[in-house]
Chain A
Amino acid sequence: MSTQIIVWIAALLTLCVFSFLYKDNVFYKLAEHIFVGVSSAWLFATYLHSDIMEDMLLKAFPSAFHQTSVPDWKVLGGGIIGLLILSRLIPGFVILSRFGVAFIVGFQTGIQLFDTISANILQQLGSTIVPLFTRKPGEMIKNWISVVGTSSSLAYFYFSKEQKGIFGMFTRLGIWFLMISFGAAYGSTVMTRMSILIGRIYFLLSNWLGVVKI
Chain B
Amino acid sequence: MFLEHLNVFITMVLSTATLFYFISTSKKGTFPFIRSLPGLAAMDEAIGRATEHGKPVLFLSGLGDVDNIQTLAALSILSRVSEKAAQYDTPLIMPNISSVTMVTAQEVVKESHLRAGRPDTYQPDNIYYVSDEQFAFVAHTNGVMERLRPAANIYMGAFYGESLILAETGHATGAIQIAGTAETSQIPFFVVACDYCLIGEELYAASAYLSKDPKQMASIQGQDALRVLMFAIILIGCIGSTMNFEPITHFMSWFLAG
Instruction: Indicate whether A and B are direct neighbours in the complex (CB within 8 Å).
Output: yes
Q: List the A residue with the shortest CB-CB distance to B202.
A: A157
Query: CA A133 – CA B223 in complex, angstroms?
Result: 31
Contact B32 A182 (CB under 8 A): no
Query: CA A80 – CA B109 in complex, angstroms?
Result: 26
Contact B12 A113 (CB under 8 A): yes
CB within 8 Å of B: which A39-86 residues: 39-40, 42-44, 85
Q: Which stretch (B51-59, B80-88, B135-143) binds chain A?
A: B135-143
Enumerate chain B residues within 8 angstroms of A183, measured Cβ to Cβ: 188
A145 CB → nearest B CB, Å:
13
Q: List the B residue with the shortest CB-CB distance to A133.
A: B242
Contact A160 B107 (CB under 8 A): no
Residue B233 interfacial (CB < 8 Å) = yes
Contact B12 A160 (CB under 8 A): no
Contact A118 B5 (CB under 8 A): yes
Residue B28 interfacial (CB < 8 Å) = no
Contact A150 B100 (CB under 8 A): no
CB within 8 Å of B: which A132-161 residues: 132-133, 147, 150-151, 154-155, 157-161
Contact B12 A129 (CB under 8 A): no
Chain A contact residues (Cβ within 8 angstroms of B): what range? Answer: 35 or more
Contact B100 A122 (CB under 8 A): no
- Which of A35, A43, A94, A104 has the most chain B CB within a 10 Å cutoff? A35
Contact B33 A162 (CB under 8 A): yes
Query: CA A122 – CA B100 in complex, angstroms?
Result: 32
Query: CA A72 – CA B227 in complex, angstroms?
Result: 46
B135 CB → nearest A CB, Å:
7
Query: CA A125 – CA B241 in complex, angstroms?
Result: 13
- Chain B proximity mask over A92-129: 1 for CB below 8 Å, otherwise 0: 00100110010011001100111001110111011011
Query: CA A58 – CA B93 in complex, angstroms?
Result: 40
Residue A208 interfacial (CB < 8 Å) = no
Q: Among B69, B99, B147, B255, point to the contact of A122 (Cβ < 8 A).
A: B255
Q: Among B8, B143, B191, B241, point to the contact of A182 (Cβ < 8 A).
A: B191
Contact A125 B234 (CB under 8 A): yes
Contact B238 A129 (CB under 8 A): yes
Q: List the B residue with the shortest CB-CB distance to A120.
A: B258
Contact B252 A126 (CB under 8 A): yes
Enumerate chain B residues within 8 angstroms of A131, measured Cβ to Cβ: 238, 241-242, 244
Contact B234 A128 (CB under 8 A): yes
B65 CB → nearest A CB, Å:
8
Q: List residues of B whose CB falls within 8 A of some A CB.
A: 5, 7-8, 11-12, 32-35, 37, 66-69, 72, 99-100, 103-104, 107, 130-133, 135-136, 139-140, 142-143, 146-147, 164, 184-185, 187-189, 191-192, 199-202, 205, 220-221, 223-224, 227, 230-231, 233-235, 237-239, 241-242, 244, 252-253, 255-258
